[in-house]
Chains A and B, each alone.
Chain A
């Protein structure tokens, strides 16, 4: 009787302790990456190699989805704005919503599912095939050799991808608003230029994406490093990367927005 009452409580306690323990582990892992980054920044070609895999290979998905998001913003924004007789403000609407929110957030979500999951799977498989252990045996620190270059590559790639997403979105909005619907090209750009501030909107958006890059890659490399070294473990870790990244990006976005704007 007592046991049936206590077991849910025990489960809850276990779950909370587990969550806090993981948070502590990920923080320690973050510090370990920072302490071991010196070596990877000296051998910068490692970072460049990882930037190829996480950044360059994400270009296509970022360009295409940026274009489509901008086009949808153009269509939806136009149908809403035209009711209030201010369809000319479409440029400002597209640019501000992309620069402040959609660009950094959507680029980070795409980055998490395209590059973050690949990072987790790669590191997890390295662990499962005991490559990380082999490195340790050869006195090569796996955090310095495998994890830190991926982390910095992700942090550097993310703002670039977000900026590209913004540009493609604005071009997509232009394509729909000006070329398809037939708004005035001059008012599209001038409304945008009148309402977008370099520091408040552009720079803050890029700072946001820098934070998202750090969060996503940290989660990705941690989950990979922490994965149970089996096929099922690696697949579970990959799923966790995408889910946790998405939640963290959205929560972090709220916090950063509250501080910035």
Chain B
């Protein structure tokens, strides 16, 4: 076979390969080119983050507005400091509240933002002051069990 035809076919072959890799990274792994100027960082401090992970979604009214960029423990007050990278097309008021929610009963955890009423917006690097921690199912069951036991004990006291 002539060399030019072989070159053409191998060129097509490599192009198909590159297109496949591009498809896998863009469409399947959803690699969106994120530049630093298109998002800004806010942070929030929580008592307990439960099972929240880095890259977990940040949602406002159920709409994806950003991702958790890093999580660290504040060495001074022992609260979890969660950095949120927010898409720069959205801005939130100063009294925005953040809570850690779970998608479904066993789904992944995400940060939900609820817009407040303050006319001033949070600036990049700002702190979301109002936070509520993750609902830890074990703690909830534990609380339920203790209150149940106490209720039972109170009943026993009354009977004699």
Contacts and interface: CB of A to CB of B under 8 A. Distances in A.
A45 to B, nearest CB: 7
Interface centre among B13, B17, B21 (most CB of A within 10 A): B13
Contacts of B3: 45, 49
Interface string A76-102: 000000000000000000010001000
Interface stretch (A67-75, A141-149, A191-199, A229-237): A191-199
A215 B23 CA distance: 27
- Tell me whether chain B's interface is mostly helix, strand or loop, or mixed: helix
Interface string A154-177: 000101110110110010000000
- How extensive is the interface on chain B, given as a class? 20 to 34
B24 A202 contact: yes
A198 B28 CA distance: 8
Nearest to A55: B13
A22 to B, nearest CB: 33
B24 A163 contact: yes
B30 interface: yes
B6 interface: yes
B30 A193 contact: yes
Given A170-B28, A193-B28, A198-B31, 5 more contacts: A52-B9, A160-B14, A163-B17, A189-B27, A202-B25
Interface of B: 1, 3, 6-7, 9-10, 12-14, 16-17, 20-21, 23-25, 27-31
